[in-house]
C-alpha cells in the first residue's frame, strides 16, 4: 500500500486574525472576538482570542465578563463583535489557495481543511514540506493570514502535528519518525480525548502517549467501550486509515437568539422555535432555496453547547415542515435536560434551488 501524504491546515486564532487584517494596529493588542447576546452589556461569550489575550487566560467559550476581568490591567484590550460574513469571505479565499494545491480537498470548517497531496509530491515528504511552505506564503501574501500545517501519512497525525508549533507552524512527521513524534506528547494531544478521559488516565498514572501504549486493547475497551477503546489503541500507535474525502463547504442558513430568560420550559422554548423558524424560512424564500436537513442549536446557561439535526426524505420549502421538525428536535433535546437554556437556534442545510434543484457547494 502506498504511503499517503496528508496535510492538515489550521488557521491560528482565525476570527481575531481576520480582524487584525482589517485593522493592523490591533496586532500588538489583546483582541477578543465576542458573541454578544441580545441582553446588552457584557452578556455573551468569547468566540476567539489572539495570543496576546490568551497570555492572560482568555480563551474561547468563557463569558465576556470573565475575559474583561482578566484583561482589566490592559487598557488597550479590544472586544469586537463577531462578523461571520467577513470571516467566511476570508475563509473562501484561503480555501481556494489550498484547493488549487491539492489532489483531494476536504473542507472541515471556516478555519481548517485536509489536503491529500500524495500524487502531487510523488509521495515525497521533502517535496511536501516545500509545497506546504508555498501554500503558507501564498495565503500570507494574498490574504495576510498565517496558518499552521501538519504533514504526515494520515489525517490523525497531521491534525496533531498542525497544533504542535502554533502559531505559524510547519511540522513534518514521516513514517519513520512517527513514534518518536507521538510518544512524548501528552495524552490530551489525541483528537477526541477530552477532560474526563484525560482525568481517568491521570488516575491510572498515565500522562503521555508512550505511557498509554502500555495498555492493551482489552483494557481500553473495558474502560471506555469498544468503539472509543479501539480508537485510542490505534491512535497512540499513529494508525488511521480514514481517507481524505472530497468535501466543499456546504451552505446553510441559521438564526440564533438569546432568550428573554434562561429556561427549560417547553412552551416558552417552542414559541421561540416557531419565531426562529419563520426567520430562517424568510431567508430561504429570498434565496429561492429548499432544504433537506433541519437542526437546532442550544447554548445552555453554563455556555456549553448541544445540537441536534435530522435529514428529511425529500427537499422541501415548507415552513410547516421546518417548524414541525425543529419542534420534534426540541422535544428530544429536552428529554434529559437538566440545565436551563440561554440561547436557541434553528438551522437548515443540504440546500438546493427551488427550480432544477441543483446542489449548492459554494460558500456562504
Q: How far apart are CA 246 and CA 115, in angstroms?
A: 9
Residue ranges of the binding site for Mg(2+): 10, 111
Q: Sign of torsion, CA 244 245 250 254? A: negative
Could you tell me where in the chain the CATH 3.40.1170.60 domains are found?
15-83
Q: How far apart are CA 151 and CA 164, in angstroms?
A: 11
The conformation of residue 119, written as its DSSP 8-state character, comes to: T
Q: How far apart are CA 97 and CA 79, in angstroms?
A: 30
Catalytic residue among 19, 106, 112, 350: 112
Residue ranges of the binding site: 10, 111
**Length of the chain in terms of residues written:** 364
Greatest pairwise CA separation for the chain in angstroms: 61
SS3 content of the chain, % helix, strand, coil (to 5): 40, 25, 35
Report the DSSP beta bridge partners of residue 255.
346
Q: pTM for the complete prediction?
A: 0.71
Q: How distant is the alpha carbon of residue 181 from its chain centre?
A: 24
CATH architecture, domain defined by 15-83: 3-Layer(aba) Sandwich (3.40)
Q: How far apart are CA 103 and CA 128, in angstroms?
A: 12
**What does the pLDDT profile of the chain (364 residues) look like in tens digits?**
679 999 999 998 999 999 999 999 999 999 999 988 766 677 888 989 999 999 999 998 899 999 999 999 999 999 998 887 788 889 889 999 999 999 999 988 889 999 999 999 999 999 999 999 999 999 999 999 999 999 999 999 999 999 999 889 999 999 999 999 999 999 999 998 878 888 899 999 999 999 999 999 999 999 889 999 999 999 999 999 999 998 766 667 888 888 999 999 999 999 999 999 999 999 888 888 889 889 998 988 887 778 888 888 888 999 999 999 999 999 998 988 888 999 999 999 877 777 533 333 322 2
CATH topology of domain 253-353: Dna Ligase; domain 1 (3.30.1490)
Q: Is 203 a catalytic residue?
A: no
Could you tell me where in the chain the CATH 3.30.1490.100 domains are found?
253-353
Q: How far apart are CA 95 and CA 114, in angstroms?
A: 10
CATH 3.50.50.60 correct for 183-235: no
Let me know: does 257 contact 279? Beta carbons within 8 Å: no
Could you tell me where in the chain the CATH 1.10.150.20 domains are found?
183-235
Helix or strand (DSSP H, E) at 91? helix 84-99
168 grid coordinates: 505559524
332 grid coordinates: 428530544
Amino acid at each position: 500500500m502506498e504511503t499517503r501524504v496528508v496535510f492538515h491546515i489550521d488557521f491560528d486564532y482565525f476570527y481575531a486574525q481576520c480582524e487584525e487584517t482589517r485593522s493592523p494596529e490591533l496586532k500588538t493588542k489583546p483582541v477578543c472576538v465576542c458573541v454578544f447576546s441580545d441582553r446588552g452589556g457584557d452578556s455573551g461569550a468569547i468566540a476567539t482570542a489572539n495570543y496576546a489575550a490568551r497570555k492572560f487566560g482568555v480563551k474561547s467559550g468563557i463569558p465576556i465578563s470573565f475575559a474583561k476581568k482578566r484583561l482589566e490591567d490592559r487598557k488597550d484590550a479590544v472586544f469586537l463583535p463577531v462578523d461571520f460574513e467577513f470571516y467566511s469571505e476570508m475563509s473562501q479565499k484561503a480555501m481556494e489557495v489550498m484547493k488549487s494545491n491539492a489532489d483531494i480537498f476536504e473542507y472541515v470548517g471556516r478555519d481548517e481543511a485536509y489536503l491529500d497531496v500524495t500524487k502531487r509530491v510523488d509521495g515525497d515528504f521533502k517535496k511536501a514540506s516545500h509545497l506546504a511552505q508555498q501554500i503558507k506564503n501564498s495565503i500570507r501574501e494574498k490574504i495576510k493570514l498565517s496558518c499552521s500545517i501538519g504533514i504526515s501519512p494520515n489525517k490523525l497525525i497531521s491534525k496533531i502535528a498542525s497544533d504542535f508549533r502554533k502559531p505559524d507552524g510547519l511540522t513534518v512527521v514521516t513514517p519513520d519518525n512517527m513514534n518518536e513524534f507521538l510518544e512524548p506528547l501528552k495524552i490530551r494531544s489525541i483528537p477526541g480525548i477530552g477532560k474526563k478521559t484525560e482525568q481517568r488516565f491521570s488516575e491510572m498514572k498515565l500522562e503521555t502517549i508512550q505511557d498509554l501504549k502500555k495498555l492493551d486493547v482489552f483494557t481500553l475497551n473495558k474502560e471506555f467501550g469498544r468503539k472509543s477503546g479501539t480508537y485510542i489503541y490505534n491512535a497512540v500507535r499513529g494508525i488511521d486509515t480514514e481517507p481524505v474525502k472530497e468535501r466543499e463547504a456546504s451552505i446553510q442558513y441559521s438564526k440564533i437568539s438569546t432568550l428573554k430568560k434562561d429556561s427549560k420550559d417547553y412552551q416558552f422554548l417552542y414559541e421561540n422555535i416557531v419565531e426562529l423558524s419563520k426567520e430562517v424560512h424568510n431567508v430561504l424564500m429570498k434565496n429561492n432555496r429548499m432544504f433537506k436537513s433541519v437542526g437546532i442549536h442550544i447554548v445552555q446557561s453554563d455556555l456549553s453547547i448541544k445540537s441536534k439535526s435530522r435529514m428529511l426524505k425529500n427537499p422541501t420549502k415548507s415552513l410547516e415542515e421546518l417548524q414541525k421538525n425543529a419542534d420534534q428536535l426540541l422535544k428530544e433535546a429536552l428529554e434529559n435536560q437538566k440545565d436551563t437554556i440561554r440561547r436557541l437556534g434553528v438551522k437548515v442545510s443540504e440546500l438546493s434551488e427551488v427550480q432544477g434543484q441543483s446542489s449548492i457547494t459554494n460558500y456562504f
